[in-house]
Amino acid sequence: MNRPTPHRSFEPSAHAAGQTRPSTSRSSWSSQRGSALLAALCFSSVLALAMSSYITLCYRTLELSSRTVQSTRSIELAETGMEEALWALNQTNYNWSGWTIVGTTATKSVTGFTYESNITGGFQVTITSYNGSAGTRTVTATGTTHQPNGTDLRRTLTATATQAPLFVNAIAATTSTVVFSNGGTADSYDSSLGSYGSQTPTYSAVVASLAPATSSATVQLVNAQIKGFGTSLYSGGPSYSTSARLYGPSTPGTTKIDSSRISSSPYQPIFAITTVSGSGTTLANPALDSTTTIGSPTDTAPAIYYSTGLDLRGTTRIKVDGPVRLVVSGSFYIGLYGGTPKIEVTTNGTLEVFAAGDIAIYGHGIDNKTRNPQRLAIYGTNTLTVPDMNTGTEFYGVIYTPTGNFTVAGNSTIYGAIVAKKVSLTGTTPVIHYDLNLRNSVFTGAETPFAITNWRETTNGG
């Protein structure tokens, strides 16, 4: 039988009993609201500080970015000024219009460059010794950008501009090959240190060809002994026989061809030959076995002589006794048809020959008594000319025939350098002693441009 479930006794709640529930006090609620407000204020303050710092950072970053942009523009303006100076220096008979000349200093200012946000700019460039006879000029260019707030940003470049050397190689072919048909030697010395015999030969003679790369070597050594380097666009390097050597001071004796001294990046500047003009003296072909003196030790500028052609025979002599420019519109022959004729450059003399026809230096050749290769230069201007040399007299000088071939026949000895369209050395023992001082020499017979040799930069804050 089911037992009845007992009923719980009813206990009235406090409300039922007429009592009230205890409530939170007013002061407690106020305290909580104050804490929340304080926290909100602190957070707002921190956020405000963070936003302020961020805005300041953004402003500083923008300012720095803008300053960097304007500083870059200032250096670009300075570079523009440098280009303006080089352009002026490399003009023939430039009248320097637009430049302010004070003594030997030329200055030019250019303004009117405009950018965004009302920013303007300009440059000032100064050339020191702008018209000097020496081959070095100092160029200072300052680029300036003017800010709307009145500040300026300046950057300055100071550079040394020097006329580029022409004879940087011992032997160079401008568009064809350099060929030693049999043997021969090439080494180097420095004439500024004295004679060749007074110093130990060095290993800096460069044999170079600028001929386009082909399937065969454009520098052909055969049996030649080269103390120096070989360079051409042909990736296979020079060709050679088992008797040839291309080496340096540290090349092992068992190594015939030192691969570390071979490159495929030849360099040989090709400059236009100067056109000689102005008043001068007509030089007739000298009488047989006579002696003719041209130039004078007292001349401060080269005396110009014009000839329609020279053909020296027998014992004919031309003595150069001062600075001379000899312009030959026809052929230039020394001993081609026999005899022992010669041109003698005295210790007072300097000779530049500009030959438009064939060149042949035989007999006793050109005897440069100064023993300084810088004092004798031969320029060939005819694209059809076939100049050659075969003389027992040592040749101290340089030869530049960029559009004509040049042949060193016999066993000639040359102290200096050769640049020609093609260079052939056909003798059994031709000798080339390259003068390292030519790398610092400027020849007025070629239109050698000014180039930057060194520079430095300074920044002036505005």
Sorted by where each begins, the domain ranges of the chain are 67-91+99-165+453-460, 171-440
Instruction: Tally Cβ neighbours within 10 Å of residue 451.
Output: 16
Model pLDDT for residues 81-113, shown as the tens digit of each residue: 999 999 999 987 889 999 999 999 999 999 999
Work out the mean pLDDT of the chain and round it to a whole number.
Answer: 88
What is the DSSP track for 263-328?
A: ES-------PBP---S--EE-PPPPTT-EEEE--TT-SSPEEEEES-EEE-TT-EEEE-SEEEEEE
Q: What CA–CA distance (Å, rounded) separates 451 from 445?
A: 18
Residue 128 contacts residue 138 (beta carbons within 8 Å): yes
Higher pLDDT, 288 or 65: 288
Model pLDDT for residues 142-156, shown as the tens digit of each residue: 999 998 888 888 999
What band does 27 get if pLDDT is binned at 50, 70 and 90? low
Higher pLDDT, 287 or 13: 287
Dihedral sign for Cα 370, 371, 373, 376, please. Answer: positive
What band does 305 get if pLDDT is binned at 50, 70 and 90? very high
In this predicted structure, the answer to whether residue 232 has a pLDDT above a threshold of 50 is yes
Dihedral sign for Cα 272, 277, 281, 285, please. Answer: positive
What per-residue confidence (pLDDT) applies to 215? 75
Asked which of 47-56, 57-66, 161-170, 291-300 is least confident by mean pLDDT, the reply is: 57-66
What per-residue confidence (pLDDT) applies to 32? 64
Structure tokens at 444: 């007025």
* DSSP 8-class letter at 446: B
* This prediction's pTM: 0.79
